Every structure is written in C-alpha cells, then in structure tokens.
Structure 1
Amino acid sequence: MSDLFTLHHVSLYVQDVDASATFYATVLGLEEISNRVGKSHIRWFTIDGFRTFHLIGGDPEPERSRPFSTHVALATREFAAVLARLEQHGVTYVSLARQPRDITIRPDGVRQVYFQDPDGHWIEINDANADP
C-alpha cells in the first residue's frame, strides 16, 4: 500500500453545468461547495468533506461516447436508500449485465448498480457495508 497519494477530485466535462449541478445535488444529495477557482462555468460538490466532484460546463460534443467501463464509483452505507432515491427521481439503474433495476452481487458479496448522469457519465454505487 502506498501513502504517497490520495484521491482529491474528479472532473467531469458537461454540456449544461446548471442541469448537471441540479442532478448531483438533487439525485445524489451531494453538497455544493464554494468554487475556489472562481470560474462561473465550474461547479464543485463535496463527496466526503475532502474529495470533490468538479463539473465543468461547456462540452461542445452533444453526443460524446461514454463507455460503460469508464465510470466513477462511489460507496455508501445506505445502499437501499440510494436505490430508493434514484427511483424517486426517475433514474434507471442497471446491473453489470445492464439489466434495468437489477443489482449485481460481486463474488465478494458487494452489491452494486450503475446509472448515467444527464451527460451520460456512468456512475457506479457500491454497498459499503459488504466491503471487507
């Protein structure tokens, strides 16, 4: 194990930064924080009080390819509540086999689902209660 690095932030290039910010705040419940670079086309959200999402508006590609294998993974101890929240907001999650409203159970017992944000970025949610 290396202590040389820790994850600081993830930046996602989006078309409409306000629509994406609404999704991350409303659907995922992330808290928006002050954008320390002061640029109006960038919005920041905290994940755990340290790590952040940076949404960068202005993507000129209306139909950019978003491969399933390229995704951001988050973990939660409130897996069932997150699934309910996704359903409440009309977000369809899928299993690794891409079956709608299905949950993957990995060989180590971790439950996981995948869904897309308004720009098609894939997000994976893992059940942190099953992590060893």
Structure 2
Amino acid sequence: MKMRALDHIVLCVNDVDATRRFYERMLHMEPQEERPGKWSLHFGTNKISLQDAAAAPGIARDTVPGSGNFCLLTDTPLDEVILHLKRQGIEVIDGPGERAGAMGKILSVYFRDPDGNLVEVSNQL
C-alpha cells in the first residue's frame, strides 16, 4: 500500500468561528460550511476541517485544541508574509529559517493560531 497525497487535516479548536475568521483573515483561506455547524477551510486542493472541542465525536474525544503543527507553502515572499502577520498583530515566533520540506529545502516562519496550534508558512527554495 502506497499513499499518494494528503486529503485533509483536522484541527480541534475551542471556537470554530474565531478560528475560521483567523485563517480567512491571516492566510486568505476560503471557509465552507459542509453541513450546519461543520466548517472547513480550503486553499488550492487542500482542506483543513475544524472540529469543535466541545462537540468532538467519540473517535476524536482525546484530541485537544492547540496540538496541531503543520506547514503551508506559499509563493508570496516571506518578507511580505512577515509584514502581513505583523500588521495583523501576530507574532512570528521563529524564522525565517531554512528547513527540510517534503519536496526539498524551504524557508519558513512560525506563528500560532488562536488555539495555540503551530503554523509554519514557507517558500520552496
């Protein structure tokens, strides 16, 4: 069995509306209500599902807000990303720095979302 792609990730969050607004404002992701009260964030061919911590189904009951850590790629130069984050009052907690990405070297910065999830935004080098 060989995997070919990532379909989606799920973030467990304390406040779905606040998280949805954060990713829409900060990273220009497109929110979609998949069914009443069930939101996801879309960008390119990717999706982040938002799971309300207070309503987690049995299979996800041990998932906690703030335990996510993921990397996003952008073609926007990192100096523009950093400026955008600062203008929105978001602290860059590390970077820019060179790291190993899935397809080679990346240059990235890190910051946290409203739940404390670690978000890495990178340029492919």
**TM-score normalised by the chain length of structure 1:** 0.72
Q: What is the count of residue pairs matched by the alignment?
A: 112
Following TM superposition, the consecutive aligned residue runs of length 4 or more in structure 1 with deviations greater than 4 angstroms are: 64-67
Structure 1 gaps of 5+ residues are 96-101
Which one of the candidate residues 115, 122, 125 is aligned to 2:118? 122
Q: Work out whether residues 13 and 59 of structure 1, in 8 Å CA contact, stay in contact via their aligned partners in 2.
A: no
Q: Work out whether residues 30 and 46 of structure 1, in 8 Å CA contact, stay in contact via their aligned partners in 2.
A: yes
C-alpha change, 1:65 and 1:32, in structure 2 (3 Å) is: closer
C-alpha change, 1:34 and 1:66, in structure 2 (3 Å) is: closer
C-alpha change, 1:91 and 1:33, in structure 2 (3 Å) is: same
State the partner residue of 1:99: none
Q: Does 1:54 align with 2:49?
A: yes
How do 1:1-132 residues align onto structure 2 when only pairs under 5 Å count? Answer: 2=2, 4-35=3-34, 38-40=35-37, 42-48=38-44, 50-59=45-54, 66=66, 71-78=69-76, 79-95=78-94, 102-106=95-99, 110-128=106-124, 130=125
Q: Residues of 2 paired with 1:65 and 1:25: CA distance?
A: 19
Q: Secondary structure at the match of 1:124?
A: strand
- Kindly report the root-mean-square deviation, in angstroms, between the aligned alpha carbons of the 2 structures: 2.3
User: Letter of the aligned partner of 2:116 in structure 1?
Assistant: G
Structure with the higher fraction of residues in helix conformation = 2
Structure with the higher fraction of residues in strand conformation = 2
**TM-score normalised by the chain length of structure 2:** 0.76
Q: Secondary structure at the match of 1:22?
A: helix
Q: Secondary structure at the match of 1:83?
A: helix
